[in-house]
Amino acid sequence: MTDLSARLEGLGRQLERKVRVLSSVAEFGQAVASERDPNAVLRLLISTAIRQLRVQGAAVMVVPASGALREVMVHGVKRDPLLGTVTRSARRSPSACSALAGRWC
């Protein structure tokens, strides 16, 4: 009976976490749908990510057609630490490749 109780408690915690995440996703979607300013959407994205991931800082980075990784917005840190590892001339940097899961390398 103790095993069953422990498993049920674990499942309850998982369910609570999933409900919290889905609630945040729905809240974010509603806010984005009503927002017209792209910078406000990025700020909302960063603040939501920081709150959900329980971290101190975040950055939104994009890879435009030029191939150079570009920082769009940062919160909680001066500069994203990955930005210096991925440049147009050094796109095959091992640390950048592993950080970006090999997607751009």
pTM of the predicted model, to two decimals? 0.57
For residue 48, the SS3 value is helix
Classify residue 80 by its DSSP letter: -
Tens of pLDDT, residue by residue over 55-70, are 888 888 888 877 777 8
Give 40-74 as a 3 state SS string.
HHHHHHHHHHHHHHCCCCEEEEECCCCCCCEEEEE
**What's the pLDDT band for 52 if we cut at 50, 70, 90?**
confident
Work out the average pLDDT over 13-30: 90
Q: Is the pLDDT reported for residue 50 higher than 70?
A: yes
